[in-house]
Amino acid sequence: MSVAAVAADRSVCAPLPVLGRDVRVPLVTGGEVDYAALDYAASAPALQRVWDDVAAYAPYYGSVHRGAGYLSQLSTDLFENSRRTIAEFLGCRADDQVVFTRSTTDSLNLLAAALPQGTRVFVFETEHHASLLPWEQRADVAVTYLNAPRTPQQAVDTLEKALAEREPYGPALVCVTGASNVTGELWPVRELAAAAHAHGARIVLDAAQLVPHHPVDLAELDADWVAFSGHKLYAPFGAGVLAGRADWLQDAAPYLAGGGASRKVSRRTDGGVDIEWHTTAARHEAGSPNVIGAYAIASACQALTEAGFPALIAREQQLIDRLRAGLAEVPEVQVLSLFGADAARVGVLSFVVEGWNSSHFAAALSAEYGIGVRDGLFCAHPLVRTLLGTDPQDPGECGAPEAAPGERSLNAIRVSFGVGTPEEHVERFVTAVKELVAHGARWNYRTEDGRCVPDRA
């Protein structure tokens, strides 16, 4: 079937409509085309359902908690019901807490701040910076970085060995991704959780790339915490979630000090103040909360649940198979992988093209085909550098990132999609890759502020 025929066939439309699905963008070669958003791993477009729910609530917006007015009471109910909806979506246990944050990064920094003194954190070098770096902010916390595994079993074995050798024996935390934001590969979370608990450690799951594509059940995975961002889950407005065990969160100082986190504040006779902090999730939610952000996440959770993950996963796998089959027909394309071609994965894939700098290639996809992808190191620098360690790249090409003295310039291209992606977008992407490799770009490009852009002079 031709790309035109695929585009005309309404049966291939995405199962959940998203905002921006009808946006037209100009091409440097002339004319316009429907924008193909294939950068879901950075920020997924909002579901139309989420946008409609938020719009319906907006006239009733009011400050939450302690407000006597009708709109404040309604907003408080909405906010706390959203917490319960998300807890159910994540399979939270009865005594787990759902804390609203700004993002996955914020969630993991919150947990880092709550770690008991002397905790040792174990984290693979393959993590996104959001889960690789927060632990370094604590001078009283030790971090062990684990080398990139090449199979899921090697990941489990590496963790087992590191935990068994840790000294002194004390509180420990394992941080692991559920799905790589670079390769899309699924990690053996349940097995890693079992290894952690067998050695007296806890585990936090970075589910930023997993939760939009697969169900995440804390109880089933036996994970202690899960962190994710609303903007990966088809919900705008800058909200995130940290959900899981309450004890370390209750024992830690509030992440932010202020109204909402405090239950009671009173003056002392010596002139100071005594503070009684909340022990619920409110302890770490000081200030006026992002009610709309929380509600948007809950709406997205409901939409995905109602659509049914089995059907969504099956359709996404068809898109993954089509994408990989199409790229396999281009010898110049090298797909990046830790676990090999047969590894289970979500709709995220990174690659390099022989003879092209990745920034140049991504710019041509955008300017000449109306396709939005991402290029670079994807906030996972150690992982991408490991995967690209032997890949030739020309540091002098358009948009090539600056390299340190003695290093080559390294970057890759990432394509990612989800429930709002029509099949036509994947077909157009595969066609564009083949044409660019076979015939080259049809336009001239130049570097501007470190980016490769069309030369319109």
Point out the residues that are catalytic. 379
In sequence order, the β-bridge partners of residue 368 are: none
What tokens does 112 get? 């880092």
Give the Cβ contact number of residue 383 at 10 Å. Answer: 26
Contact between 344 and 87 (Cβ < 8 Å):
no
Contact 178, 90 (CB under 8 A): no
Cα-Cα-Cα-Cα torsion 283, 204, 248, 146, nearest 10 degrees, comes to: -130
Q: Supply φ then ψ for residue 108, to 5 degrees.
A: -75, -30
What is the rounded distance in angstroms from the CA atom of residue 291 to the CA atom of residue 62? 9
What residue type is 214 in one-letter code? Answer: H
**Residue labelled with tokens 């990989």:** 324
* 35/33 Cα distance (integer angstroms): 6
With beta carbons less than 8 A apart as the criterion, state whether 373 and 322 touch.
no
Task: Return d(Cα 45, Cα 232) in angstroms, integer.
Answer: 8
What are the helix and strand counts (H, E) for the chain?
A: 14, 19
Q: How far apart are the first and last CA of the chain?
A: 38
CA distance 337 to 397: 25
Taking a C-beta distance cutoff of 8 angstroms, is the pair 384, 181 a contact? no
Distance CA 420, CA 23 (A): 13
DSSP string covering 76-115, please? Answer: HHHHHHHHHHHHHHTT--TT-EEEEESSHHHHHHHHHHHS
Q: Residues 6 or more apart from 180 whose CB is under 8 A from it? A: 126, 187, 209, 338, 348, 380, 383
Distance CA 118, CA 109 (A): 17
